[in-house]
Amino acid sequence: MPARPPRGPRGLPGLVHRYRRLPLRSRLALLVAVAVAAAVAAVAVVSWALTRSQLNAEMDRSLENTRAPKQVVLDALEKCAGGGSGIVVGTKATESFAYTQMVTADGRRCVAPYSRPVKVTPLDVAVADGRSESALHSSVTDSGQQVRVHTTLLQTPNGDIAVSVSRPLDEISTSLNRLALMLSLLAGVGVLGAGAAGLWVARAGLQPVDRLTDAVEHVARTEDLTVRIPADGDDEIARLSRSFNAMTEALASSRDRQARLIADAGHELRTPLTSLRTNIDLLARSERTGRAIPPADRQALLASVQAQMAELAALIGDLQELSRPDGPQDGDGPLKVVALHEIAGTALGRARLRGPELVFTDDLAPWYVRADPAALERALVNVMDNAVKFSPPGGTVEVRLRGGELTVRDHGPGIPAEELPHVFDRFWRSPSARALPGSGLGLSIVARTVRAAGGDVRLEPAPGGGTIAVLRLPGATTPPPGTPGAG
């Protein structure tokens, strides 16, 4: 036998489970209908209760203002005294507006003509024997009809007589039943109308969400990041649409940058790989054919291979650096308080090894920043390497650090003004520098590292020739308390 599908939970958990499986617009319509039904039910119950209270109060006031005619009372008492019951049976048409009967101190009653006998209660007896001036209460007739009774004393020639005037409660219950039926019908119509209105409102209100859902599904299906959703107004849906547009724009920009990086990296890798393959082919052909390469040429080929391998390693390292996520890390990551003057001194020492024929001057005041130490040192080395690369033989490189501003000046040919906006682009190289070693990624890494530390960097022409690299990093002249090495 085929297995039956598992049943969901029962009771209240089952209702909640089924509710959560409904579409959003159905849930909204159901919530609106339930809210309106609860409101209508509360209004109906309160209206019915207030109406009943008002009708009962009106009947009590009517009874209190109703007095039995004295002659009717005397005639009834005379018949009762003659041995009769005082009851004259009549039809509905001949029944009086109110039932009237007299009550004696011993609990006996004398019913007026065309009135129905009402059961005597202790409250009526209390009025008859003088313990109470009046009594207002509910009772029933001998036939079981509910009545409201008002008993008072009536002065007669034979003394005070307790007279009970009663009115049936049917007139109130009939009106209340009709009101309850009318309120029920109105409540039903209101709930149905609220459900239909809730469904229409949910459908109209969720149209922007439907458009957003369609856009997300389209992007997930086609990977088309050019989709944009109209965002009008300042409500939550408009904010969500703007956030979605910003997200797709950022994703598209990231994908474009990634594609450009791959294309540029492939282009930059092709040149050293081609040169390396050519040199290795020459060495391999020499070994295969037995034709020895002159020792000087062989040494030159091996030196070229080593230089190309070093260039490839540097390029791969630069690409790895650029592939790291942008932006500062959190407090538990690689960012820490470091001495910028010490890192600048270390980078300056490495620059002196690369340019032993150059003159280096330094003026480094203490400055502490929050940054990734390894990335910051690499950035400073790149800046100083550029100064070494473009300095003429015997030239001077000036390094100065004051108030969080590090300047590195060379006395080389300088950078044309039209090229300054591009110096921090990836793989961009000045036409005059393409013959020099390098990948065009050094200044991109510098800009990325400095911005991650909350600073900024720029290149500008130096007075009298050359270029000045200016790095600004936020920090302080003394390390914060608790920093290793802080006084």
Count structural domains, the chain: 3
**Which tokens hold the place of 448?**
């990325």
Under a CB-based contact definition with an 8 Å cutoff, are residues 128 and 104 in contact? yes
Phi-psi region of 209 (alpha: psi -120 to 50; beta: other; left: phi over 0): alpha
Q: What is the CATH number of the domain that holds 316?
A: 1.10.287.130
Cα 462 to Cα 387, 412, 470, distances in angstroms: 12, 10, 11
Listed residues 205, 221, 254: the one ending a domain: 205
Burial class (CB in 10 A: 0-12, 13-18, 19+), 450: buried
What contacts 169, CB < 8 A, 6 or more positions away?
A: 59, 138, 146, 147, 148
In one letter, which amino acid is 185?
Answer: L
Q: What is the CATH number of the domain that holds 401?
A: 3.30.565.10
- Domain for residue 219, yes or no? no
Q: Which of 414, 405, 333 is nearest to 375 (CA)?
A: 333
Q: Are residues 43 and 181 in the same domain?
A: yes
58 has which bridge partners? none
Per-residue confidence of the chain (487 residues) as pLDDT tens digits? 455 555 545 555 655 556 566 666 677 777 777 888 888 888 888 988 999 899 888 888 888 888 878 777 887 787 787 665 555 544 444 456 788 888 988 888 888 888 889 999 999 999 888 888 889 999 999 888 899 999 998 877 777 888 999 989 887 888 888 888 888 888 888 878 877 877 787 777 777 777 777 877 887 788 777 777 777 777 777 787 788 888 888 888 777 777 766 766 665 566 667 777 888 888 888 888 878 788 887 887 787 777 777 767 766 766 666 666 554 444 344 578 899 999 999 989 888 888 889 999 999 999 999 988 888 888 898 888 888 888 888 899 999 999 889 999 998 888 887 777 777 776 555 555 544 555 566 777 788 888 888 899 998 888 888 889 999 999 998 887 766 554 4
| Residue 47 lies in domain | 10-205
SS3 171: helix
Q: Which of 402, 406, 403 is nearest to 382 (CA)?
A: 406
Q: Are residues 351 and 434 in the same domain?
A: yes
Distance CA 29, CA 31 (A): 5
- Domain for residue 187, yes or no? yes
Q: Which pLDDT does position 186 carry in this prediction?
A: 85
- Domain for residue 5, yes or no? no
- Domain for residue 213, yes or no? no
Q: Which pLDDT does position 6 carry in this prediction?
A: 52
Under a CB-based contact definition with an 8 Å cutoff, are residues 315 and 341 in contact? no
**Which tokens hold the place of 163?**
């007279």
Q: Which pLDDT does position 432 carry in this prediction?
A: 52
Q: Are residues 279 and 249 in the same domain?
A: yes
Q: Are residues 240 and 155 in the same domain?
A: no
- Domain for residue 400, yes or no? yes
- Domain for residue 49, yes or no? yes
Given CA atoms 132, 138, 144, 145 in this order, what sign does their dihedral have?
A: positive
Q: Are residues 285 and 416 in the same domain?
A: no
Helices (H), 92-206: 122-128, 170-205
Q: Are residues 89 and 179 in the same domain?
A: yes
Q: Are residues 44 and 186 in the same domain?
A: yes
In one letter, which amino acid is 217?
Answer: E
Phi-psi region of 53 (alpha: psi -120 to 50; beta: other; left: phi over 0): alpha
Q: Are residues 298 and 418 in the same domain?
A: no
> Helices 442-452 and 373-390 meet at what angle, rounded to 10?
140
CB environment 180-210: b (16+ within 10 A), e (fewer): beebeeebeebbeebbeebbeebeeebebee
Q: Are residues 310 and 450 in the same domain?
A: no
Q: Which pLDDT does position 400 carry in this prediction?
A: 94
pTM attached to this predicted model: 0.45
361 has which bridge partners? 398
Phi-psi region of 414 (alpha: psi -120 to 50; beta: other; left: phi over 0): left
Q: Are residues 349 and 301 in the same domain?
A: no
Q: Which of 379, 384, 342, 377 is nearest to 360 (CA)?
A: 384
- Domain for residue 393, yes or no? yes
- Domain for residue 487, yes or no? no
Under a CB-based contact definition with an 8 Å cutoff, are residues 132 and 124 in contact? no
Q: Which pLDDT does position 311 carry in this prediction?
A: 64
Q: Are residues 169 and 254 in the same domain?
A: no
Q: Are residues 371 and 399 in the same domain?
A: yes
